[in-house]
Amino acid sequence: MSKIYPTILSGGSGTRLWPLSRKHYPKQFLRLTSSYTMLQETALRLTGFNKPIAVCNDAHRFILAEQLQEIGQNPTSIILEPVGRNTAPAIALSAFKALEHNSDAILVVLAADHVIEDKETFQKSVELAAEYAEQGKIVTFGIVPSTPETGFGYIQGEKSDKSALKIKQFVEKPNRIKAQEYLESGDFFWNSGMFVMKASIYLEELKKFNAKMYDSALKAYSNATSDLDFVRIAKQDFELCPDDSIDYAVMEHTELGIVLPISVGWSDVGSFSALWEVLPKDEHGNVNLGDVKNIESRNCLVQSENQFISTIGVEDLVVVGTKDSILVAHKDKVQNVKEIVKHLNHTGRSEHLLHREVHRPWGKYDSVDNGARYQVKRITVKPGASLSKQMHHHRAEHWIVVTGTAIVEIDEQETLLSENQSIYIPLGSTHRLTNPGKVNLELIEVQSGSYLGEDDIVRFEDTFGRV
């Protein structure tokens, strides 16, 4: 089915999975349920069709591209949203791109951060949904509910003996009593947020029901520019686009919508309790990830990134430790994790934005220690990669090579360094770091100065277009 284009929406922030998920490294880029990240799992779910079209924000572009390349899923296109405008405009951008490749293109719209355990059944469901899409229908997958879940919206289908049902109504997240009624009725399904439809049909319906959104998205896409392997949407035009989901903008108005009920082991992994549900457990119901020991504890999720964590005699707890934060919460209260994120934001802290270990297109760095006028980082540079040619107004730097080989350029003069050698970069000097070798370059960077923020970088040249 060469006309099918998987479309991955990767704009979520995953605040309810803090401290694992951060604004600049959200849950879709994490390995939560397997050796693959959630983004990679999503892409691998639909092999056999065209390579995916991905939509993400500018800050995530290199992470997304690298993770897809790791699994051989070099995308058809990566579309960069300059601002978030919800799912309806994002899907419109994907539809414009798909139609450039095939005038009869069918989109399979997926969130980048969902779990589907039964991949074979899901792929068959996609193929069936594509048959309905060929007939001009807009198909959404409704998850057959297994519990009276209050954390999801629902779709009611009109009773029928057909595999797909005409949509009767969309309903918001219910209370417990209403959710039980939905479960018992047999015609209510969890709203998965996944869709299959012709790109042209979607755009026609969007134009019919929200002309301003259609016009703004079309103008922003028409004025897009190419940036390396990315399609950079025109910010000034896209900012004028209304902010709305596909449910409100199209699905609640169209006569073409149908729901296809499926049972595929689906989860949106929207909280730590949902993550606990989908992960393997020991004989006491505990999920243990990392260096963990539980004694007389039951039904807990305990995850450690870099330290030993132990529990004794507790039940139904979530304990998550990263390099810079620790969360302890009852499983019944994990929806409130977003309140912690709000607190961090309002108090000007950074733990909700970045991990201590920060990924960059050239590699990564780990902020090991810092004080009033100094900061120590462990920097890893990939083979063949270079940092930008840059200078700093407020800090000097001292680099010590731990493993690998480095070419250091300071004010147009190059020096080759190997293990245990070091070099000093004075304040105001133009400099660049390159790994010419075949293995990772690791070095310790000691910064000193009056201001050590990441925004004290003046770039002159950059392989990754960040000048």
Is residue 286 within 8 A of residue 300, CB to CB? The reply is yes
Q: Would you state the pLDDT for residue 467?
A: 62
> Does the structure show a pLDDT above 60 at 189?
yes
Residue from 146, 110, 154, 114 nearest 263 by CA: 146
Q: What is the mean pLDDT of residues 139-155?
A: 93
pLDDT digits (tens, 9 = 90+) for 218-277: 999 999 998 878 999 999 999 999 999 999 999 999 999 999 999 999 999 999 999 999
Output the pTM of the full model. Answer: 0.89
Residue 65 confidence class, pLDDT cut points 50, 70, 90 = very high
3 state SS of 289: strand
Q: What is the mean pLDDT of residues 66-88?
A: 94
Q: What is the mean pLDDT of residues 347-363?
A: 91
> Does the structure show a pLDDT above 90 at 11?
no
Amino acid found at 112:
A
* Strands annotated E in 174-264: 188-198, 225-227, 230-232, 257-262
Q: What is the mean pLDDT of residues 332-346?
A: 95
Q: What is the mean pLDDT of residues 450-462?
A: 90
3 state SS of 276: helix
Q: Would you state the pLDDT for residue 48?
A: 87
> Does the structure show a pLDDT above 60 at 1?
no
Q: What is the mean pLDDT of residues 411-440?
A: 96
How far apart (Å, rounded) are the C-alpha atoms in residues 81 and 93?
9
DSSP label of 120: H
> Does the structure show a pLDDT above 70 at 466?
no
Q: What is the mean pLDDT of residues 174-203?
A: 94
* DSSP string covering 54-73: EEEEGGGHHHHHHHHHHTT-
Q: Would you state the pLDDT for residue 421?
A: 96
Q: Strand 363-370 relative to strand 374-381: parallel, antiparallel, unpaired?
A: antiparallel
How far apart (Å, rounded) are the C-alpha atoms in residues 437 and 406?
8
Q: Report the chain's mean pLDDT, rounded to a whole number.
A: 94
Neighbouring CB atoms inside 10 A of 310's CB total 13
Q: Name the residue with tokens 């954390």.
A: 151
Q: Which domains, ranges and CATH numbers included, belong to the chain?
A: 4-267 (3.90.550.10), 283-340 (no CATH), 357-461 (2.60.120.10)
Structure tokens at 2: 């060469």
Q: Which helix (DSSP H) or strand (DSSP E) does residue 341 occupy?
A: helix 337-346
Residue 242, CB-side half-sphere exposure with 13 Å CA sphere:
16
Q: Would you state the pLDDT for residue 376?
A: 96
How far apart (Å, rounded) are the C-alpha atoms in residues 39 and 423?
39
Q: What is the mean pLDDT of residues 364-379?
A: 93
How far apart (Å, rounded) are the C-alpha atoms in residues 32 and 34?
6
Structure tokens at 106: 């069918």
With pLDDT > 70 as the criterion, what percentage of the chain qualifies? 99
With pLDDT > 90 as the criterion, what percentage of the chain qualifies? 87
